Amino acid sequence: MAAARPLRHRSDALPARVDDVTNRFRWRAMRALGLCRWLLGGTVRALGPGAATASSAPSPQDGVTVEVLDHLERLALVDFRDAEGVERLREAVRFAERLREVNTEGVEPMDSVLEDRCLYLREDDVTEGSCTAELLKNAREKVEEYFVAPPGNIPLPELEERDTFLKEKLPH
């Protein structure tokens, strides 16, 4: 079931002079179209900057904003390192856009090629273990039988405070 997503209204999607009759009509048509889509339960994509009308698909690059890049860095705990890294992501997204050309109406997603077989469960018996010493050998920091981690519950610093390439992309 596609979750209905609220239509986001952004002031920069509104035409500059709303008192212009033609523009007002166009703006109302956009809202109506968006509202129709929402009511039909279709996927409404967030209007990105530069999206002209609701009927033309927003450019995929609209999804790659600094906020999204920051969000990705936090989720993945991996950094972009430089402009090349960001460009790599953009290329990857551009490439993936080709999937839209395929008509997948009525097709179920496939998780595994073995989907027509039963996944079995083995008996709930302890068959192996007692290998604490072996497992601890590979850890760099440990105390007795514990792996030692730095303090948790401290979130990653915000973009402004992090030492990351994305800081340069922040609007000043």
Partner 1 sequence: MLKGYISPYNATVVQKLLDGGAVLLGKTNLDEFAMGSGSTDGVFGPVRNPWSYSRQYKEKIVPRSDSEPENSNWVITGGSSGGSAAAVSAFTCFAALGSDTGGSTRNPAAHCGVVGLKPTYGLISRHGLIPLVNSMDVPGILTRCVDDAAVVLGSLAGHDPKDSTTVQDIFQPFALPSLTDVSKLSIGIPKEYHAPGLSSEILAVWSKAADLFKNAGAKVVEVSLPHTHYSIVCYHVLCTAEVASNMARFDGLEYGHRSDMNKSTESMYAATRREGFSDVVRGRILSGNYFLLKQNYEDYFVKAQKVRRLIANDFVKVFGSGVDILLTPTTLSDAVPYVEFIKEDNRTRSTQDDILTQAANMAGLPAVNVPTALSGRGLPIGLQFIGRSFQEKQLLTVAKWFEKQEMKYLLCIQILQISGYTHHQKDEFQTSSGERC
Helix 83-96 to helix 66-76 angle (10° resolution) is 100
Q: Which is nearer to partner 1, 50 or 157 (CB)?
A: 157
- Interaction between residue 36 and partner 1 (CB under 8 A): no
Task: Kindly report the number of other CB atoms within 10 A of residue 169's CB atom.
Answer: 15
Of 15-23, 24-32, 33-41, 73-81, the window that binds partner 1 (rule: CB under 8 A) is 73-81
Q: With respect to partner 1, which residue has the nearer C-beta, 15 or 41?
A: 41
Number of residues that bind partner 1 (CB under 8 A): 61
Q: Which two tokens stand for residue 94?
A: 């551009």
Residue closer to partner 1, measured from CB, 17 or 117: 117
169 binds partner 1 (CB under 8 A): no
7 near partner 1, judged by CB under 8 A: no
> In angstroms, rounded to a whole number, what is the distance separating the alpha carbons of residues 45 and 57?
9
Q: How far is CA 37 from the centre of its chain?
A: 22
Find the binding residues for partner 1 in span 96-135 (CB under 8 A): 96, 98-102, 104, 107-114, 117, 119-120, 122, 131, 134-135
Is 149 one of the binding residues for partner 1 (CB under 8 A)? yes
Residue 71, CB-side half-sphere exposure with 13 Å CA sphere: 6
Angstrom distance (rounded) from CA 107 to CA 51: 30
